[in-house]
Amino acid sequence: MSKEIGIVAALEREVKPATKRWQSRIQKYGDREFKFFENVRAVLVCGGIGAEASRRAAEAMISLYAPGTVVSIGFAGALEAGFKVGDLFVPRSVVDARDGSRIETAVGKGTLVSSPSIADEVQKRRLAKSYAAQVVDMEAASVGVAAGLHGTRFFAVKAISDELGFAMPPLSRFVGANGRFKSWKFAVYCVVRPWLWRPVLCLAKNSARARQSLWRWLNQYNEPEFLKNNPDQLHPMSKIPS
């Protein structure tokens, strides 16, 4: 059941449209169940938000499917002003902000730093200065560590969902211990705080643009017949894995 590539995302809504033609399968690893999306070439798992959730998912996927390459995909925040919402970033280096450890990948350029929490504007500027990084996420470093423990090739593909000056709503408090986002609790929190309505709506719009970039990148792993009939669905950066 070995796959050419194994992909670890945070949330299913980030990737679901691109994988609608893939077969879904629930498998147990350890004391947890994971939902995998498979096709002939690839397998994808949505582990949840944060380092621990993504590490568990990566471990399960590597142990069950033995992919030749592991990729961390998902949303990320810009640490430099030049990035726009929807841009894809493929880092050469991935740094874990918890301990400063660094992973070098075989593709891309620049540096991504993985933060233990969703970074606001102040935290972004601190992370950029501390690690000379261009982009911040929460999961790439832990996925890279899991890949390294198994001697598996690793890289990351991140879509910018928030630019440097974006006023991030207080999202971190609504991420559960299982890595899932508590959407309804966040919605109730925002309803009585009208000053959050505009940034929340803006974030939703930005996330939709970031998702489009991820979907187009993922489409390279759809079946050849799909690609033949939908050549416009490929992202210009979709040739990175080769």
- pTM value is 0.88
**pLDDT tier, 1 (very low <50, low <70, confident <90, very high otherwise):** low
- pLDDT at position 227, please? 45
For residues 186 and 231, the model is more confident at: 186
The stretch 170-179 carries a mean pLDDT of 86
* Rounded distance between C-alpha atoms, residue 78 and residue 53, angstroms: 23
- pLDDT at position 237, please? 54
**pLDDT tier, 228 (very low <50, low <70, confident <90, very high otherwise):** very low
- Class of residue 184 by CB neighbours under 10 A (exposed 0-12, middle 13-18, buried 19+): exposed
Residue with tokens 């970033």: 89
CB 197 within 8 A of CB 190: yes
Phi, psi for 112 (deg, rounded to 5):
-115, 135
The stretch 113-142 carries a mean pLDDT of 94
**pLDDT tier, 46 (very low <50, low <70, confident <90, very high otherwise):** very high
**pLDDT tier, 4 (very low <50, low <70, confident <90, very high otherwise):** confident
| Cα dihedral 197, 206, 72, 101 sign | negative
For residues 128 and 225, the model is more confident at: 128
The stretch 77-91 carries a mean pLDDT of 95
Question: Which helix (H) or strand (E) is 37 found in, with range?
Answer: strand 32-38
Instruction: Tell which residue, 34, 33, 45, has the closest CA to residue 5.
Output: 45
What is the set of domains in the chain, with CATH numbers? 5-233 (3.40.50.1580)
- pLDDT at position 162, please? 94
* Rounded distance between C-alpha atoms, residue 219 and residue 148, angstroms: 26
The token duo for 20 is: 């609608």
The stretch 2-29 carries a mean pLDDT of 89
- pLDDT at position 242, please? 46
Residues in the chain: 242
DSSP string, 143-158: HHHHHHHTT-EEEEEE
* Rounded distance between C-alpha atoms, residue 58 and residue 48, angstroms: 11
Q: To the nearest whole percent, how much of the chain has pLDDT over 90?
A: 69
